[in-house]
Amino acid sequence: MSNTSSTMLALGTKAPDFSLLNPVNNQVQSLESLKGKKGTLVVFICNHCPFVLHIIDTLEELYEDYKSKGIEFIGINANDVASYPADSPEMMVEFVEEKALKFPYLYDESQDIAKAFEAACTPDFYYFDENLKLIYRGQMDDSRPGNQKEITGEDLIIAFENHLADQEQEDLQRPSLGCNIKWK
């Protein structure tokens, strides 16, 4: 298990546009068609990473809580499936079913989107406002596999609630930590 921190893309950055395959419905879906009315959380995840497995249930719970408030979540898997077949599109479908994920989980085969986001790890979180301007990037909370801290989603919740209340975001945004993206 590697400990790689997110690169912390500059706040205010416009979300890189994308159209990627959703293996679950075998459709190409775009950021524009999926974005939320009040904001969009893009999170780089994969099927096998212990850091992702540690938080995925809480991430789905947060989606259930915030989708009705106009915040959409989009998961993206950019791992090299030749070296990591557990992250293949077929396995993504199984992962979605096993974890009962309701948010779209897209496949970045070329890894171009991950590079455009400067994604470094799984999970790597990017929260954009309704104009697709980056207002939060960093960790979901302080919990990590094995550190005995409760999985709360606190940092994301604060970002969501601040935005929904038209409040400024926290100055301190701490990087996410996880397994490195498996580059080709």
Q: Return the residue matching tokens 């009040």.
A: 38
**What is the tens place of the pLDDT at every residue in 47-61?**
999 999 999 999 999
Q: What is the pTM of this model?
A: 0.97
Q: Which amino acid is at 175?
A: P
> Which element (helix H / strand E) includes 177?
strand 177-180
Residue tagged 């455009």 (tokens): 116
* C-alpha 149, offset from chain centre: 20
Task: Supply 101's token pair.
Answer: 């994920």
What's the pLDDT band for 168 if we cut at 50, 70, 90? very high
Q: What is the predicted pLDDT for the residue at 106?
A: 98
Q: Please say if the pLDDT value at position 11 is more than 60.
A: yes
pLDDT at 3: 85
User: 29 - beta bridge partners?
Assistant: 20
Query: Lowest-pLDDT range, 2-6, 47-51, 63-67, 143-147?
Result: 2-6
**What's 176's DSSP letter?**
P
Task: Measure the CA–CA gap between 6 and 122, rounded to whole angstroms.
Answer: 9
Mean pLDDT of 111-120: 97
Token pair belonging to 133? 């301007």
Task: Say if residues 177 and 139 touch (Cβ distance below 8 Å).
Answer: yes
User: CB of 120 within 8 A of CB of 175?
Assistant: no
Total residue length of the chain: 184
Two tokens at 163?
Answer: 């935005």
